[in-house]
Amino acid sequence: MKILLMMSGSIAAAKATGLISLWRKAGHEVKVACTSSVFEFVGKATLEGLSDNSVVSAVFEEDNMMQHICLSRWADIIVLAPATANIINKLVAGIADDIVTTLWVAALELGKPMYLAPAMNSMMWNYPATKNSIKQLQNWCVNVLLPQSGELACGENGTGRLMEIDDLNNAIFKKQKDKYILITAGGTREYIDGVRYIGNLSTGRTGAQVADYFTALGYQVTWLGAINAIQPNKPCSKIIYETFNDLSDKLKDLLENQHFDAIIHAAAISDFSVASISINGEKISASRQTKLPSSESIDLKLKKNPKLVSQLLNWSKNLDLKVIAFKLTNTSDKNQQKIAVMKLLKQDGIDFVAHNDLSDITVNQHSFCLYPAEKDKIQCESVADLCKNLDI
């Protein structure tokens, strides 16, 4: 995994170098970006030696003029530790006047998992602007790793200590490593003959992005995707399905025989499959080994497929399985959209419904409205935003 560690000028910067050692020993690639004031506490050579990479401390450096953009795109996870009161309040104000704030502003909309670990005197921590900024960062789905109480660098006792290194590392990784997620993606094919099928518009892009997001956080991800779906970029268990029956069988087998903490059911499943085929009023037998003649009109009789989402909890080995269902509508009528979502959400065993309308989806936009079973809806502007709001 590629981790970008950003550091701001605090005496806790020396403590934070322990993260680099831990991550490197775990096999992660680490790059460091820091404000120039960090060098008052830790030498540049130390950071470069620990990370085995050059350290970036200025927005524009010779031969690296675009580092403030490239680094944020390079990383799988972004961690700002330590984060001073000054840097925290600048982030919320949108000020980008050094490499750390510039990288942060450039990264926030990329949907990367972002962690911030404050470290400061307790009076700075309790300052109203700092408190408000922490709340705003949390509202923006930043994972704030709250400071601990105890003896501070100034000799006083209070809240403001940077989390212990092992606690920081565990907060980012360990919890997720014990979580198993099943993700369905892409669209089913219902075959008419060997070359024709009933399909849908799903590309599987959402499922692939969801899989990449949770894999980057250390979750154990199983991706159950359509044969033509976009696949996750990051390494995870991948299983292919094709038809409704194929998906149903594989879902049942996985849920009955493996423990999953959550299923993110993003597959676009056909509501119908082929019941019979007639040519000129005569029923014929067609299979994947045949090709129907194109010279005649064909009558298809479709049968309704059962709803798989209603079976997920029944099949699950884990009775506490969290189920995240998806609902796509195709109407501008907001009331009709809500009726469709509520109908799905009221089914037993569904914890969240992620809704969007066909009009919400473009090449550059993929927004959702997330409906938790017992909370107010949450507007999510991207797939990453959706993932951040799932309580898994």
What are the catalytic residues? Answer: 154
Q: Looking at this protein, which amino acid is placed at residue 165?
A: I
The residues with which 193 forms a beta bridge, in sequence order, are none
| Closest to 149 in 3D by CA, of 134, 164, 169 | 164
Across 333-344, b (16+ Cβ under 10 Å) vs e yields eeeebeebbeeb
Question: What is the rounded distance in angstroms from the CA atom of residue 25 to the CA atom of residue 340?
Answer: 49
Q: What is the DSSP letter of 306?
A: P
Rounded Cα distance, 55 and 5, in Å: 10
Contact 236, 211 (CB under 8 A): yes
Q: How far is CA 223 from the centre of its chain?
A: 13
| H/E segment holding residue 104 | helix 99-107
Beta strand pairing status for 368-372 and 378-380? antiparallel
What Å distances lie between residue 335 and 64, 239, 259, 346, 353, CA to CA?
A: 52, 37, 38, 16, 16
Q: What is the DSSP letter of 200?
A: -
SS3 3: strand
Contacts of 269 (CB under 8 A, 6+ apart): 187, 188, 244, 247, 305, 308
Computed over its alpha carbons, how large is the radius of gyration of the chain?
A: 25
Closest listed residue to residue 107, CA positions, set 80, 89, 87, 138: 80
Rounded CA separation 378/335 (Å): 17
Distance between CA atoms of residues 53 and 3, nearest Å: 12
